[in-house]
Amino acid sequence: MKLTDFHTHTYLSDGVLGPAEHLRRLVVQGLDAVAITDHVDSSTIDHVLNSLDQIRYDFEEHITFLPGVEITHVLPSQIPELARKAKQRNFLVVVHGETIVEPVVQGTNEAAVKCPDVDILAHPGILTFKEAKWAEDNEVFLEITTRCGHSLGNGLVAELALKTGAKMVLNTDSHAPRDFISHELRDKTALGSGIPRSMFEEMFVKNPEEIIKRIIK
């Protein structure tokens, strides 16, 4: 199965590598497709959009690259406008969900899964059944994460996704090379979250292909 990761960071926000080195290292790591999704709010979104546009096609012969943003720690009411702005530039839109290890504004999960321009709700934390159902209705992918701390909610997210039919994607939220994904880490994280091997084809092949098609027409 191909190896993908649609939630990673560079020093355009709080990662340690520049975008070019980040992508080069992921090529060597063996990834087939990756998104750079640096943190944005109203004050930084233009800078990130403009910066990643400059490198959008530089590595296209080596890796499938999706430029993206992670809308982070904003008011829920701001999410639709910021997501629309990124989507108009053909960027992947991730929203930083209500992880249990950070003080994310309550209502962020709901605003994200109701927004037609959001692709992925990252590490949703204490997700509710209603939010998972909205994600299914609006085709927002729910993230299973390898990230320490954020991953404490994986079991609940997987359980609710399986009950509601919401689609899942497994990402790393990488900030440095030590965080990069491998086949072993991916598979063990999924199994530890309660996802059966029978779903691996859907989760690791079909769902990533759908995400890629949203950005690369």
Confidence of residue 1 (pLDDT cuts 50, 70, 90): confident
* Residue 217 pLDDT: 80
pLDDT reading at 118 higher than 90:
yes
Lookup: tokens for 53: 């546009």
Question: Longest C-alpha distance within the chain, in Å?
Answer: 43
* Number of Cβ atoms within 10 Å of the Cβ of 122: 26
Domain range 4-65+75-215, CATH class = alpha beta
pLDDT reading at 213 higher than 90:
yes
- pTM value is 0.98
* Residue 117 pLDDT: 98
Question: Quick one: 88 exposed, middle or buried, by C-beta within 10 A (0-12, 13-18, 19+)?
Answer: exposed
